[in-house]
Amino acid sequence: MSNKQRPHSRLRALAAVAVLLGVLSLPMAGEAQDFNFPRLEEKVKSFTVRIDMTIEISFGMNSNEQEDQFLGNIVTPDGLVLFNGSVLAAESGFMMHGFNVKMTPTEISVTTLDGQQYAAEYLGVDRYTNFGFVRITAPEGTKFDAVAFAEQPCKVGDWLALYMLLPDFIDPPLAADIGMVSVLVRSPDSIPLTVGFNSLQVGSVLFDRDLQPVGVLGPLMDPSAAGFDVAAMMETADQFGMPLLGVISGERLNKIIESPPTKGSTDRGWLGISLQALTKDIAGFWDIDAAGGIIVNEVINNSPADKAGIEMGDIITEINGQPIEIDREDKIAIFQRSIADLGPGASVGLSILRLTNGERQPVSMVVTLAQSPLAATDAPEYTSETFELTVRNLVFSDYMLFNVDEETFQGVVVSELKPGGLAYVGGLTIGDVVQRIDNEDVTSIADAEAILEKIEIEQPRELIFFVWRNNKTLFVNVKADWK
C-alpha cells in the first residue's frame, strides 16, 4: 500500500504565522531592542536555505510518502547544512516484531534565499540534539557562505535574536524574534534555557547583541523518556505542554559539525552493560556512602566491560574521577550519554565498589570503549525486485531481542515484503530470519544477494527458504513466476 500526502496545509501555515505574531506582540524590555536587525537579516540571508524533502515512511508491508519543508543553515563552505531533524529522529531504532519503522528521505532539494537550487544528500540525525544534516551536491570548487559559531558561554539575562523561515507563500521569507536566557540548566543537560521563543523556531541560529552566532535554538531533552533505544532522548515539556527551549551552544555544535552523523555508521562509545541506578534506598540498605552510582546488572559477553573485568553486581561510583550522581532510574540515560559522547576508542577510568568476602572493596580500572552497535534501521540491506522482499543484516538488538548467541546464530532478517509478491505469497513474514536458501547458507546480505541473483539466472520453479521464526525453524516453499 502506498500513498502520498503533504501535511503542511495552508491552514497549518497560517496558524504558525498567527502563533508567531502572538509571540512578537509580547512586551520586551527596552534594552532588548538594541539589535541591528537590518544588518542581522543580511547575515542570516547569506547562509539560510529552504530544504524541500520527500520522506518515505515504511513499516513492514506498508509505506507512504510525505513532503516536508525545513529551515536550513549552511555550516561549512563545502555545503553541509544543519536543520531541525526531529521528524526523522524516529528512524533511530523503533522496532516491532523484527521490522523497523523507517523514515527515509528520497528526494532533497536545497534553495538559497537568492533562488539558487541544488540537490542534496541526506547524512543523518544527531541523537542528542535531533539536528539533522544534509550535504549540498554542487559543482566541484563551489564555496558557500557558512555560519561560524562563536564558542562563548551565555549568561542569565542575555538577550538573543533569531530569524525564522516563513511558509513559502509569504514574502519576505524571514521574520525576526527576540528572547532571553532565563536559567543555566546543569541537569539533565548543560543548556541555557530561554523564554520568548517557540517550537516553530527550532533550528534557527541565535545571535547575541554583537550579532555573533552563539548557537542554535533547540529543545532540552528528557532522559527519563528514553524508548527502546536505551540512549535515546525525547523532548521535555513544561506544565503548560510547551517544549523547553534553549541554546545548543556553538562549542557543542562545532563538535557535531566536525563529525556529522552519517546514516549506516556510528561514532558513539559503548561499554556493554545492563544497569540500574544506585538509589538512596538501595545505598542505605547496603550501607554505601555515595551520592549515586550505576549498578551493573549484566555484562555483555565480549564487550569492553567484559574485557576489562567488570562483573555483575559491581557498583560504578566515578567516571574519570568525577562522581556519578545517578540516584534515580530516570537519570540513567545521563550516564549512558556520557559514555556515548566519549566515543569509540576512548580510555575511561572507572571507580568501582565490588563485593568481596562480604564487604564492598574499591576497585579501579580503565576501560577502552568500543563502537556502539548499529541500530536495525542502519543495518545494510538488500532488496530482491524479483521476489519483492528486503532483508537486512542482524544487529546487536536482534540478538538481545531473540535471546540468541551472536557467535553461533546467523542469517538475515526479512524487514520488508510487498503484499502479493512472490515471497509474501510463499509464506515469508516480517521478522523471519533467513538462514538458508536452497541448501546454501545465508550469513549476510551479500550471501542472500549472490544466491538470489544466481536463482534468477537459473529460474527454477520453486525455492526453499529455511527460516527461524518465533524460536523455532521451518521451511518456506516459495514458487517462482518467471516471465
pLDDT digits (tens, 9 = 90+) for 256-293: 999 898 876 777 899 999 999 999 999 999 999 998 99
Residue owning grid cell 528486503? 390
Residue where a domain terminates, one of 344, 371, 398: 371
**DSSP output for 76-98:** STT-EEEEE-GGGGGGGT-EETT
Question: In this structure, is residue 100 part of a structural domain?
Answer: yes
Report whether pLDDT(23) > 50.
Answer: no
Residue 465 CB partners (closer than 8 Å, separation 6+)? 426, 428, 432, 434, 436, 437, 475, 476, 478
Query: What residue type is 62 in one-letter code?
Result: N
190 and 74 share one domain: yes
Q: Verify that 357 and 407 share a domain, yes or no.
A: no
For residue 466, the enclosing domain spans 379-479
User: At 237, is the pLDDT very low, low, confident or very high (cuts 50, 70, 90)?
Assistant: very low
A 10 A CB-CB count for 95 gives 19
The answer to whether residue 463 is domain-embedded is yes
184: cell is 543555566
What are the angstrom distances between the C-alpha of 367 and each of 74, 267, 348, 449? 38, 17, 5, 38
Q: Do residues 30 and 146 share a domain? A: yes
What one-letter code names the amino acid at 41?
E
For residue 24, is pLDDT > 70? Answer: no
Average pLDDT, the chain: 85
**Radius of gyration (C-alpha) of the chain in whole angstroms:** 26
List phi, psi (to 5°) of 91: -75, -5
Asked whether residue 121 falls in the same domain as residue 15, the answer is: yes
Please state the φ and ψ torsions of residue 56, each to the nearest 5 degrees: -90, 125
Vertex 330: Cα angle to 329 and 333 (nearest 5): 100
8 Å CB contact between 131 and 120? no
Which one of 229, 258, 287 terminates a domain?
258
Q: Identify whether 263 is part of a domain.
A: no
CA distance linking residue 267 with residue 43, whole number of Å: 33
Distances (CA, A) of 461 to 103, 130, 466, 480: 36, 49, 17, 5
Greatest mean pLDDT among 82-91, 168-177, 183-192? 168-177
Assess whether 219 and 252 both reside in one domain. Answer: yes
**Once rounded to an integer, what is the mean pLDDT over residues 182-211?**
91
- 156 — pLDDT class (breaks 50, 70, 90): very high
396 and 335 co-located in one domain: no
d(CA 376, CA 395): 6
Do residues 433 and 413 lie in contact, with contact meaning Cβ atoms separated by under 8 Å?
yes
Nearest of 445, 397, 372 to residue 99 by alpha carbon: 397
Instruction: Assess if residue 439 is contained within a domain.
Output: yes
471: phi then psi, degrees, rounded to nearest 5: 70, 20
pLDDT tier, 32 (very low <50, low <70, confident <90, very high otherwise): low
Domain count, the chain: 3
The residue among 326, 352, 371 that closes a domain is: 371
CA atoms within 13 A on the CB side of 101: 10
* C-alpha closest to that of 269 among 320, 202, 208: 320
283 lies in the same domain as 349:
yes
- Indicate if 285 and 245 belong to the same structural domain: no
Asked if residue 193 and residue 117 are part of one domain, the reply reads yes
Q: What is the CATH number of the domain that holds 71?
A: 2.40.10.120
Phi-psi region of 377 (alpha: psi -120 to 50; beta: other; left: phi over 0): alpha
Establish if 279 belongs to a structural domain: yes
pLDDT at residue 13 greater than cutoff 90? no
Residue 154 lies in a domain: yes
Has residue 264 been placed in a domain? no
* Rounded Cα–Cα distance for residues 116 and 110 (Å): 8
Query: Could you tell me the CATH number of the domain that includes residue 319?
Result: 2.30.42.10
**Choice among 92-96, 195-199, 254-258 with the minimum mean pLDDT:** 92-96
Whether residue 309 is predicted with pLDDT greater than 90 in this model: the reply is yes
Does residue 190 have a pLDDT over 90? no
Segment 107-152, tens digit of pLDDT: 999 999 999 999 999 998 887 788 999 999 999 889 999 999 999 8
* CA gap 410, 433 in Å, rounded: 8
| 90-118 mean pLDDT | 73
Whats the size of the chain, residue-wise? 483
DSSP assignment of 8-26, as one string? --HHHHHHHHHHHHHHHTS
- Does residue 333 form part of some domain? yes
Residues 132 and 245 in one domain: yes
- What is the DSSP code (8-state) at residue 277? E
Domain identity same for 336 and 385:
no
CA distance 421 to 437: 17
Q: Is the pLDDT of residue 386 over 70?
A: yes
**pLDDT of 326-353, one tens digit each?**
998 878 878 888 898 888 999 999 999 9
DSSP state of 454: H
Do 387 and 460 lie in one domain? The reply is yes
